[in-house]
Structure formats: structure tokens, C-alpha cells
Amino acid sequence: QKEVEQNSGPLSVPEGAIASLNCTYSDRGSQSFFWYRQYSGKSPELIMFIYSNGDKEDGRFTAQLNKASQYVSLLIRDSQPSDSATYLCAVKEDNFNKFYFGSGTKLNVKP
């Protein structure tokens, strides 16, 4: 069973700050990593995905992947109260369309 670990939080940051969300995974061979955002009572929505070591930026969001250390992180710059949600890290199993999700980190952005 592949493990995906996240700190459940809540992580509280003031408006305008950088929020840093972390995720570790157990399968060293994993190649594809995804971040989803889930508002309370809603379904997960894709924020971004990353396949290669290093950083990938999309607007205020930056995903960072370090395969040697088996962690992936998500940075949210200029955090807004509307970013308050649970952030789910997901790892896709190689050669299968099967995703393993972490339990999610709850982010609170305080005005």
C-alpha cells in the first residue's frame, strides 16, 4: 500500500503571507504528483501537477518536487482568505490510472 502523508493542520497564515504545504510519499518510484484544493462540502479541484524535480509555477502557486527526499510541497504566495480550504496531495501509481491521496492539510488564511 502506497502511503502519502500530510500534516492535517490547521495551518494558519495571515493574509498576504506565503503558505507552505508539505507532503511525503513512500513509493520511491512514483513519477506523477498532484495538488487538489477542497472547500468544505465541495469536491476536490485540481490546482496543479508536477512530474520533474524542481519547481513549477502557476500564478500564485508553486509546486516543488524532490524525488530524492520523496517530498512534494505547494507554496501559495500572497495568501487570500479565499484560499482557506483543505489541500490534498495525490500520487499517481505508475502505469495505472490510480491515485493515492493524503489526508489533506487544512489551511486558514486570516484577514
Partner 1 sequence: KAGVTQTPRYLIKTRGQQVTLSCSPISGHRSVSWYQQTPGQGLQFLFEYFSETQRNKGNFPGRFSGRQFSNSRSEMNVSTLELGDSALYLCASSLSPTPGSGETQYFGPGTRLLVL
Residues within the interface to partner 1 (CB under 8 A) = 1, 32, 34, 36, 42-46, 49, 51, 88, 92, 94-104
Which amino acid would we find at residue 40? Answer: S
Whether the CB-CB separation of 58 and 48 falls below 8 Å is answered with: yes
Minimum distance from residue 86 beta carbon to partner 1 (Å): 10
* 3: Cα separation from own chain's centroid: 14
Q: Which is nearer to partner 1, 19 or 34 (CB)?
A: 34
Q: Which is nearer to partner 1, 12 or 103 (CB)?
A: 103
Minimum distance from residue 30 beta carbon to partner 1 (Å): 12
Minimum distance from residue 42 beta carbon to partner 1 (Å): 7
* Helix, strand and coil percent figures for the chain, each rounded to 5: 5, 55, 40
CB atoms near residue 67 (< 10 Å): 17
DSSP code of 81?
Answer: G
Q: Which is nearer to partner 1, 50 or 79 (CB)?
A: 50
Q: Which is nearer to partner 1, 34 or 79 (CB)?
A: 34
Element (H, E) at 26: none
Minimum distance from residue 111 beta carbon to partner 1 (Å): 27
